[in-house]
Structure 1
Amino acid sequence: MAIEQGWLAGARRVPSPNCDERPHGEVSLLVLHSISLPPGEYGGAHIENLFTNRLDPEAHPFFASLQGLRVSAHLLIRRNGECVQFVPFQRRAWHAGRSRWRDGERWRTALNDFAIGIELEGNEVSAYTDAQYERLVEVTLDLVAAYPELETSRVAGHAQVAPLRKSDPGPAFDWAYFRQRLGECHAAE
């Protein structure tokens, strides 16, 4: 897959209105998230509806708590490895919220300004699929190739950048396996 004008080739596009311009044009961090709607259920259009402000609060009791929420991510990787892109990478998606990242010797806030948000369809306790890991590795390498400030070491979980608020992608995400596969594929390029 390649990146063309901020869009991942081969990804299904579902444009979200929940984005704006990056203040400095910088892309130098990936933030991994997990999402399932309703919680613990996979498939369907609920995630896409949330990111496009079309989630029906009457469709499930949990959805009432999300009413009026305006969020997005750049990319969703479904359980079968399908990629759905909501926001072009050069624009700011609304995914990290109040968060901070140690960038060398300094702490940075307002991570949405320079981070790409990738949602993995899943939850914090169920294993992610091989198809998701493989697609995530592929997408990460494509992004590293497209954005010079981004490196394979600059990938964090939402829990790492907002530890008192968030716990995703959770203990079910195998960071060691992901980094191993990323290293193997990066070396093979």
Structure 2
Amino acid sequence: MTLQLDRHGWLRPRAGVLLCPSPNFDARPADAQVRLLVLHNISLPPGRFGGPHVAGLFTNTLDYGAHPWLERLRGLRVSAHFFVRRDGAIVQFVATAARAWHAGVSAFQGSARCNDFSLGIELEGTDTLPYEDAQYHALARLAAVLRARHPLVWAAGHEHIAPGRKTDPGPAFDWPRFARAANWPRRHLPR
């Protein structure tokens, strides 16, 4: 099933796609060109998959009492455009026309503030556990629709735009596999 974005940059709801709007976004600078796809990983609590915690974090509704580790996230205001679950289901939190708050202090090719010119995709996972086939498949489908709408040229990990501060998506992410599945030029990926 082909994914489609509406004129605002929201995926059209269908099987395997959930829209879960986040309040954690703002407008991009008027001259911003969305040229970078940033891949992340997340699991809450770390190493645990499934459940409502990622959506809770990105929508400011996280139940901090659900697990002791979650308390350290209190007051954090973050989001990503998309979240790809282990089973390949896609959750969208922010329209692609808007700036999600996923990159933090970051730089790419001499330009700071990567949120201004990037789209952020969180993969449910950790730096060291292999990602699922369904995630690579969903990521390839998502990358295709995003590249059709935005002038995306580059893809990088959070670790590449915030080295020393971030480590995701980590060594478990197979960049050559992503390049093949998404038909993304290898020369526009991390080396």
**TM-score when normalising by structure 2:** 0.90
Provide Cα deviations, 1:91-114, integer angstroms capped at 9, x if missing partner: 000000001001xxxx00011011
**1:91 maps to 2:98:** yes
Provide Cα deviations, 1:52-109, integer angstroms capped at 9, x if missing partner: 111122211111110000000000000011000000000000000001001xxxx000
Instruction: Report the counterpart of residue 152 of structure 2 in structure 1.
Output: 150
Instruction: Report the counterpart of residue 45 of structure 2 in structure 1.
Output: 38
Equivalent position SS for 1:3: coil
Q: Unmatched 5+ residue regions in structure 1?
A: 185-189
Q: Aligned partners of 1:183 and 1:115: how far apart in 2? A: 19
Provide the aligned length of Structure 1 versus Structure 2. 177
Shift of 1:182: 2.0
Q: Aligned partners of 1:139 and 1:58: how far apart in 2? A: 33
Q: Percent identity between the aligned chains?
A: 51
**1:161 maps to 2:164:** no
Equivalent position SS for 1:178: helix
More strand by share: 1
Q: Aligned partners of 2:114 and 2:55: how far apart in 1? A: 22
Shift of 1:27: 1.3
Q: Aligned partners of 1:54 and 1:142: how far apart in 2? A: 29
Provide Cα deviations, 1:117-138, integer angstroms capped at 9, x if missing partner: 0000011111000010011011
Equivalent position SS for 2:156: strand
After superposing on structure 2, the runs of 4+ consecutive aligned residues of structure 1 that deviate more than 4 Å are none
Instruction: Report the counterpart of residue 174 of structure 2 in structure 1.
Output: 174
Q: Aligned partners of 2:18 and 2:180: how far apart in 1? A: 28
Provide Cα deviations, 1:125-165, integer angstroms capped at 9, x if missing partner: 11000010011011111111111x213xx110000000110
What RMSD in Å do the two structures reach over aligned CA positions?
A: 1.1
Letter in 1 for 2:112: T
7, 20, 27: which is aligned to 2:34? 27
Instruction: Report the counterpart of residue 187 of structure 1 in structure 2.
Output: none
Letter in 1 for 2:179: R
Q: Aligned partners of 2:129 and 2:167: how far apart in 1? A: 14
**1:119 maps to 2:88:** no
Q: Aligned partners of 1:165 and 1:61: how far apart in 2? A: 23
